Amino acid sequence: MDTDKHPAADNALGGFLRARRAQLRPEDAGLPTSGRRRVPGLRREEVAALAGVSTDYYMRLEQGRERHPSRQVLEAVAKALLLDDDAVAHLYRVATPTKRRTRRAPRVERAGPHLRQLLDTWSDTPAFVLGSALDILARNRLAAALFTGFASCDNLLRMTFLDPAAHHFYRDWDRAAESCVAALRRAVGIDPDDPRLIEIVGELSVKSVEFRVLWARHDVRGKTREAKLLHHAEVGDLELHYEAFTVNSDPSQQVIIYQAEAGSPSADALALLGSLSAVPALHRDPFAGPD
């Protein structure tokens, strides 16, 4: 198995550089495209030339033999590979890793009681809390209703890749899957020794071919805002926009809020879903906050 697929891989920098180089077309970098190319993307010597370093030095970077590249070199390589802000930040993290720990006790992530209570005050919009490995730590009543078609509403990655309902729920499944994996890759870059991250990457690598393919691409992107095209069995199609907010008391957690455009068919469908999901307090979702 390719060790770059495991969050604890020794050469995270090399895996990232190879993956990004393979996805960059010569025309994207302003290079001629004539002639047959034996490898996808750019050649090592082409990236080296674009970054202004020797081919041998760049090869050492990819092979993990150069452990202390300067910031100037990293900036040049990032520019050559046309990395966006999230990918540049990830490049710096994997190029200057912190001291590794051989053993670490798992941390049980929980959303705080006040955060749960806050979720419950948003009765007109789905809202939930994500942990670093995209575990759903808490959700309000409308979020529970939104995800009701899944066998288990426990982790966005497991729901997306292991539950057949995901392909019906996400009208653009490919985009949703790419977004989840890119967020996970970012989390692994920040804390490669997190036992929960290691666990979820290992499980999905074994159980999902689609995950393995996306994981090997080394896409990196944090959750900030995005449009979601969904289909709910009871209320039909929904076009929702989400915003992600970092929890200051625990920066590894994020609050995700879905909204529909006011007056749109999606807003009407969301309102209908809210009315359908209204139940007595004794039958409340156990993950929802208190009244």
Architecture field, domain 113-283: 2-Layer Sandwich (3.30)
Decide which of 3.90.1150.10, 1.10.260.40, 3.40.50.1000, 3.40.50.150 is the CATH code for 3-95: 1.10.260.40
Q: Where in the chain are the domains?
A: 3-95, 113-283
Rounded Cα gap, residues 44 and 54, in angstroms: 10
- Calculate Rg over the CA atoms of the chain: 21
pLDDT digits (tens, 9 = 90+) for 260-288: 999 999 999 999 999 998 755 434 454 44
Task: List Cβ<8 Å contacts ≥24 apart for 208-211.
Answer: 208/161, 208/162, 210/161, 210/177, 211/157, 211/161, 211/177, 211/181
Q: Are 136 and 180 in contact (CB under 8 A)?
A: no
Confidence (pTM): 0.82
pLDDT bin (cut points 50, 70, 90) of residue 101 is low
pLDDT digits (tens, 9 = 90+) for 207-233: 999 999 999 999 998 777 788 999 999
Q: Are 95 and 122 in contact (CB under 8 A)?
A: no
Nearest CA-CA partner of 147 in 256, 62, 44: 256
Q: What local confidence, expressed as pLDDT, does residue 82 receive? A: 94
